[in-house]
């Protein structure tokens, strides 16, 4: 049996969970309180399951189940990212015993603050995928003929790149970033889905790209084959909303659940761009 | 942000931000270091400080050009872009109280303090513009344009007798020093000089030592200058400044310049007026 984090004498019989709810995109948000019976070894996901099962607020009113996203339940997919007691993290790895130890009052759950809320704790992180498109976060190997084996990757390089490849696009780095502002647009009545999508992408492209995409640009720039397109990624990193917006608060690296050296990637991108700009300016 | 085409600032964001980063060190930061060191030379003697001021003013009619090119325009650029940057940030030290995040917020706070302090300081010592009507009708009644380069230590010392001013200068100088020291650290990341967390930690230690030393120079200059503005020291300072001025007039190195000497206008304390009469 796993040792409990809280000694038996201090265990509460129940605890309160405050959830910031929102019924639909653009709707006002509101707080709801839920009283949950304590059990050892709960995590925030199992608390949310209990809330869904009860569907009753702490003052006894019937309510709709709180909506949330989750998938892997082992902190590798990033789907269940939300603000737990004000800090961004995965709710699957947020253990209730630890949270109550830090704050016996209860637990506060909010959706991520920098992404459009779809419902309750579910947010739309498509901006992150747009930034991966922007920096061409892939290795282009498509072609008609066999181009033979690619360049070899050294062990040393592999060890630098592997941690960067662990990024699960959860968005913790962006939510904690003081330079990353929320971009939320709403579809107009006279606008087709495609038009709206284009308008959204234009807005996303103007706004800060953030640590995750900068780090991915370094991951693919360091790849022996990906290196062949390094300049295109650097061009994207120096476009409006690019690396230059970074303010070096370094929250990204502090909150990253995968301990990715994001600030190292940011500084390396800065160095690559310094040389790239020299080359671009003096070689033309 | 929605549909309008990107603004000039947005289109050239990368270049502008890199120039902003560079201008903070060269020339603005470098100028500030020289400025504080020259001011601190008053700790040696008012004559040393006066000599340094004469050296700067030996540029003659070139001085305004040099000042505008290397000081005013870069500071204005750094300040205006800086305000734009501050407006784009959402400080969050409450939820994320990490050291680097606190420095991020402090960098913005000290930047804004520096913005207002430099405006106050340039008004207080120089009056912003040298037009006579402006100086007589607006600046002097408000207690500005107190510094007179040909009576350097005594006029600066007198200007710093007010406690409120001393507090403003103390906060302002320390804010500027922090902003420069921390700015050098972030600049090293921006340009890709220090990359690994270890290298960044070493760099931040070096920047901290630099900041502490510069703060000592700055605070020393402030209180050293203030000390020249009262009592025995004021009389001595006025004496040596008069001697140096007269000597330069005699040798033909200077033509009389009552403006820079601080003669012939109201707003001087009685003590200065007395010394002026003695001349």
pLDDT at B273: 43
CB distance A178–B200 less than 8 Å?
no
Q: How confident is the model at residue B264 (pLDDT cuts 50, 70, 90)?
A: low
- Indicate if A133 and A270 belong to the same structural domain: yes
Which of A178, A250, A267 is nearest residue B195 as measured by Cβ atoms? A267
Rounded mean pLDDT of chain B? 91
- pLDDT, tens digit, for every residue of B160-169? 999 999 999 9
Q: Count Cβ atoms below 10 Å from residue A254 Cβ, excluding itself.
A: 17
Q: How confident is the model at residue B265 (pLDDT cuts 50, 70, 90)?
A: low
B91 contacts in chain A (CB < 8 Å): 178
| Residue count (chain B) | 279
Q: Which has the closest alpha carbon to B263: B246, B252, B250?
A: B246
Mean pLDDT throughout A195-214?
Answer: 96
pLDDT at A8: 56
Q: Is B129's pLDDT higher than 50?
A: yes
- Indicate if A163 and A190 belong to the same structural domain: yes
User: What DSSP line would sit under B149-213, residue for residue?
Assistant: GGGHHHHHHHHT-SHHHHHHHHHHHHHHHHHHHHHHHHHHHHTTSS-SHHHHHHHHHHHHHHHHH
CB distance B101–A248 less than 8 Å?
no
Q: How confident is the model at residue B136 (pLDDT cuts 50, 70, 90)?
A: confident
pTM over 0.95: no
Which of A181, A240, A268 is nearest residue B6 as measured by Cβ atoms? A240
- Indicate if A163 and A101 belong to the same structural domain: no
Taking CA atoms, B127 is separated from A29, A62, B108, B111, B162, in Å, by: 52, 69, 26, 22, 17
- Indicate if A130 and A264 belong to the same structural domain: yes
Q: Which residues contact A270 (CB under 8 A, 6 or more apart)?
A: A243, B189, B190, B191, B192
Q: How far is B121 from chain A (nearest CA, A)?
A: 28
Q: Which has the closest alpha carbon to B218: B38, B36, B25, B52?
A: B36
Residue A234 lies in a domain: yes
Q: How far is A181 from chain B (nearest CA, A)?
A: 7
Domains (range + CATH), chain B: 8-278 (1.20.1300.10)
CA distance B37 to B32: 8
CB distance A254–B6 less than 8 Å?
no
Residue of chain B nearest A203, judged by CA positions? B2
Mean pLDDT throughout A82-86?
Answer: 97
DSSP-assigned letter for residue A75: S
Q: What is the CATH number of the domain that holds A212?
A: 1.10.1060.10
Mean pLDDT throughout A60-81?
Answer: 95
Q: Which has the closest alpha carbon to B21: B99, B84, B81, B73?
A: B81
pLDDT at B2: 46
- Indicate if A220 and A102 belong to the same structural domain: no
Residue A61 lies in a domain: yes
Residue A276 lies in a domain: yes
The residue of A249, A253, A275 whose CB has the most chain B CBs within 10 angstroms, and thus the best one to mutate to test that interface, is: A249
pLDDT at B223: 97
Q: Is B90's pLDDT higher than 60?
A: yes
CB distance A264–B96 less than 8 Å?
no
- Indicate if A158 and A201 belong to the same structural domain: yes
CB distance A249–B104 less than 8 Å?
yes
Q: Which has the closest alpha carbon to B14: A188, A40, A243, A121?
A: A243
- pLDDT, tens digit, for every residue of A100-129? 999 998 999 999 999 999 999 999 999 999
The residue of A211, A267, A268, A277 whose CB has the most chain B CBs within 10 angstroms, and thus the best one to mutate to test that interface, is: A267
Q: Count Cβ atoms below 10 Å from residue A204 Cβ, excluding itself.
A: 22
Say if residues A71 and A77 touch (Cβ distance below 8 Å).
Answer: yes
Q: How far is A27 from chain B (nearest CA, A)?
A: 20
- Indicate if A160 and A99 belong to the same structural domain: no
CA distance B155 to B146: 6
B89 contacts in chain A (CB < 8 Å): 178-179, 247
A173 contacts in chain B (CB < 8 Å): none
B2 contacts in chain A (CB < 8 Å): 185, 199, 203
CB distance B1–A273 less than 8 Å?
no
pLDDT at B275: 44
Mean pLDDT throughout B244-251?
Answer: 93
pLDDT at B18: 97
CA distance B184 to A149: 45
Three-state DSSP class for A55? coil
Chains A, B: CB pairs < 8 Å: 114
- Indicate if A75 and A201 belong to the same structural domain: no
Q: How confident is the model at residue A206 (pLDDT cuts 50, 70, 90)?
A: very high
ipTM of predicted complex: 0.91
- Indicate if A69 and A190 belong to the same structural domain: no
- Indicate if A94 and A228 belong to the same structural domain: no
A86 contacts in chain B (CB < 8 Å): 94-95
- pLDDT, tens digit, for every residue of A219-269? 999 999 999 999 999 999 999 999 999 999 999 999 999 999 999 999 999
Report the share of chain B in percent with pLDDT over 90. 78
Say if residues A79 and A89 touch (Cβ distance below 8 Å).
Answer: no
Q: How many domains does chain A have?
A: 2
Q: What's the token pair of residue A130?
A: 């747009």
B254 Ramachandran zone, left/alpha/beta (phi>0; psi -120 to 50): beta
Which range (A9-13, B59-63, B200-204, B218-222) has the least confidence?
A9-13
Residue A93 lies in a domain: yes
Q: What is the CATH number of the domain that holds A112?
A: 3.10.20.30
- pLDDT, tens digit, for every residue of A123-176? 999 999 999 999 999 998 888 888 888 889 999 999 999 999 999 999 999 999
Q: How far is B209 from chain A (nearest CA, A)?
A: 20
Q: What's the token pair of residue B66?
A: 């040099």
Mean pLDDT throughout B257-263?
Answer: 85
Q: How confident is the model at residue A3 (pLDDT cuts 50, 70, 90)?
A: low
CB distance A254–B101 less than 8 Å?
yes
Q: What's the token pair of residue A70?
A: 């989750």
Taking CA atoms, A99 is separated from A21, A51, A167, A212, in Å, by: 20, 17, 25, 27
Which range (A154-168, B119-133, B178-192, B257-271) has the least confidence?
B257-271
Which range (A239-248, B173-182, B260-269) has the least confidence?
B260-269
- Indicate if A181 and A95 belong to the same structural domain: no
Which of A181, A254, A277 is nearest residue B90 as measured by Cβ atoms? A181
Mean pLDDT throughout B7-32?
Answer: 93
Residue A145 lies in a domain: no
Domain that holds residue A18: 8-119
Q: How confident is the model at residue A2 (pLDDT cuts 50, 70, 90)?
A: low
Which of B101, B107, B189 is nearest residue A251 as measured by Cβ atoms? B101
Q: How confident is the model at residue B271 (pLDDT cuts 50, 70, 90)?
A: very low
Residue of chain A nearest B16, judged by CA positions? A244
- Indicate if A184 and A92 belong to the same structural domain: no
Residue A86 lies in a domain: yes
């Amino acid at each position: 049996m796993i040792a409990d984090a809280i000694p038996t004498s201090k265990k509460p019989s129940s605890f309160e969970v405050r959830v910031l709810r929102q019924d639909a995109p653009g709707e006002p948000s509101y707080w709801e309180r839920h009283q949950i019976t304590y059990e050892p070894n709960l995590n925030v996901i199992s608390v949310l399951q209990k809330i869904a099962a009860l569907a009753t607020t702490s003052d006894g009113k019937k309510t709709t189940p709180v909506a949330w996203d989750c998938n892997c339940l082992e902190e590798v997919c990033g789907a269940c990212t939300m603000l737990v007691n004000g800090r961004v993290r995965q709710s699957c790895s947020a253990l209730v015993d630890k949270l109550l130890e830090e704050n016996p009052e209860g637990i506060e759950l909010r959706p991520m603050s920098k992404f459009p809320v779809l419902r309750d704790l579910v947010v739309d992180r498509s901006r992150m995928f747009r930034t991966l498109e922007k920096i061409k976060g892939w290795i282009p190997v498509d072609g008609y003929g066999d181009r033979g084996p690619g360049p070899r990757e050294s062990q040393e390089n592999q060890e630098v790149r592997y941690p960067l490849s662990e990024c699960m696009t959860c968005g913790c780095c962006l939510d904690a970033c003081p330079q990353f502002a929320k971009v939320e647009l709403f579809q107009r009545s006279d606008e087709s889905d495609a038009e709206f999508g284009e308008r959204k992408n234009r807005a996303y492209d103007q706004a800060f790209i953030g640590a995750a995409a900068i780090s991915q640009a370094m991951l693919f720039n360091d790849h022996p084959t990906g290196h062949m397109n390094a300049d295109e990624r650097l061009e994207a990193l120096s476009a409006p909303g690019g690396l230059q917006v970074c303010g070096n608060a370094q929250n990204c690296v502090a909150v990253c659940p995968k301990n990715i050296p994001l600030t190292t990637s940011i500084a390396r991108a800065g160095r690559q761009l310094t040389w790239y700009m020299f080359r671009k300016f003096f070689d033309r | 942000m929605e549909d309008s085409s990107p603004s000039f600032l947005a289109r050239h964001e990368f270049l502008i931000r890199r120039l902003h980063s560079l201008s903070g060190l060269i020339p603005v930061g470098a100028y500030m270091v020289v400025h504080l060191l020259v001011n601190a030379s008053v700790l040696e003697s008012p004559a040393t400080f006066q000599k340094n001021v004469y050296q700067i003013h030996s540029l003659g009619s070139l001085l305004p050009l040099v000042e505008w090119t290397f000081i005013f325009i870069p500071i204005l650029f750094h300040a205006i872009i800086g305000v734009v940057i501050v407006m784009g940030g959402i400080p969050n030290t409450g939820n994320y109280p990490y050291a680097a995040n606190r420095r991020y917020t402090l960098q913005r706070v000290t930047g804004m303090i520096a913005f207002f302090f430099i405006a106050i300081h340039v008004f207080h010592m120089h009056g912003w513009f040298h037009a006579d009507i402006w100086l007589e009708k607006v600046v002097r009644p408000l207690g500005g344009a107190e510094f007179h380069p040909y009576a350097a230590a005594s006029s600066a010392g007198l200007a710093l007798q007010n406690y409120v001013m001393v507090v403003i200068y103390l906060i302002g100088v320390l804010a500027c020093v922090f902003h420069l020291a921390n700015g050098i650290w972030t600049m090293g990341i921006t340009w890709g000089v220090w990359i690994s967390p270890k290298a960044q930690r070493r760099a931040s230690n070096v920047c901290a030592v630099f900041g502490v030393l510069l703060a000592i120079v700055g605070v020393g200059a402030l209180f050293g200058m203030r000390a020249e503005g009262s009592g025995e020291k004021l009389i001595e300072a006025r004496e040596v400044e008069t001697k140096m001025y007269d000597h330069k007039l005699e040798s033909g190195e200077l033509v009389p310049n009552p403006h820079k000497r601080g003669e012939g206008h109201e707003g001087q304390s009685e003590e200065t007026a007395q010394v002026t009469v003695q001349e």
